[in-house]
Amino acid sequence: MALTGAGISTESGIPDFRSPGGLWAEFDPLEYGSIQAFRADPAKVWRFYAPRFSVLSDAEPNGAHLALAQLERLGLLDAVITQNIDRLHERAGSKNVLEVHGSIRTSSCPGCGASYSLDEVLALLGHSDVPLCSECGGVLKPDVVFFGELLPAGTIDRAYSLARSARLLLVIGSSLEVHPVAGLPLETLEAGGALAIVNRGPTPLDSRASLKVDGSAGAILGAVVASA
């Protein structure tokens, strides 16, 4: 299995959130990325997210995303568990992807439940700072997990089950600081599996990994595929 975080997508030009130079170093996540903030002032939250939606929709999968898709096609990778909302694994060709923090693929109306595709939301944002539901006029909410929201129970349960069954869990671009996802490698280790980490910078589980590589995910995974 693979577990991916923001670091796998920075090579596609998508800024991360938690590094010293990330978005949350400049913006208060509770002010712009929490469910409480959205309910209090959805327009303010959308003004923050709208330009980032455009960046996410324009980004292309990089060598790391493509390598994981190829490893899946070769029968060497069973699934990708990702903390990312950018859809890049899917666009790279990975089939079995668990998006534990949701995705920008759709947005939903909290009022009537109507669902809108990313293209529809971007079209709405082209005319207004806030995308409104055409059915009831409510402000749409991206189908991503905000601070203060629970992860989708079925998805995180499935992720833990996959982690326990993995002979090797490959962590890519995650600092392993965000729970409960950060607990997945422990599930693999406690079940007798091994852990490998590809990440720029340390993680709390480096000492328990059979392999830790600090460097470009695209270059490293590309070399793995070349030798497969």
Reply yes or no on whether 101 is catalytic. Answer: yes
Q: pLDDT tens digit string along 24-68?
A: 445 566 777 889 999 999 988 898 888 777 788 889 999 999 999
Catalytic residue among 89, 101, 127, 179: 101
Bigger pLDDT: 94 vs 30? 94
pLDDT of residue 25: 47
β pairing state of 194-198 and 211-213: parallel
End-to-end alpha carbon distance in the chain: 16
pLDDT of residue 23: 52
Name 153's Cβ contacts closer than 8 Å, sequence gap at least 6.
Answer: none
What pTM value is reported for the model? 0.91
State the Cα–Cα distance between residues 203 and 197, nearest whole angstrom.
9
Tokens 């806030």 belong to 130
Domains of the chain, with CATH numbers?
2-227 (3.40.50.1220)
pLDDT of residue 54: 77
Query: Is the CB of residue 80 less than 8 Å from the CB of residue 4?
Result: yes
Q: In the numeric block, which tokens belong to residue 60?
A: 């292309």
Q: In the numeric block, which tokens belong to residue 28?
A: 């208060």
Q: What is the mean pLDDT of residues 112-141?
A: 93
Beta strands in the chain (DSSP E): 2-4, 80-82, 97-99, 102-108, 115-117, 141-144, 168-172, 194-198, 211-213
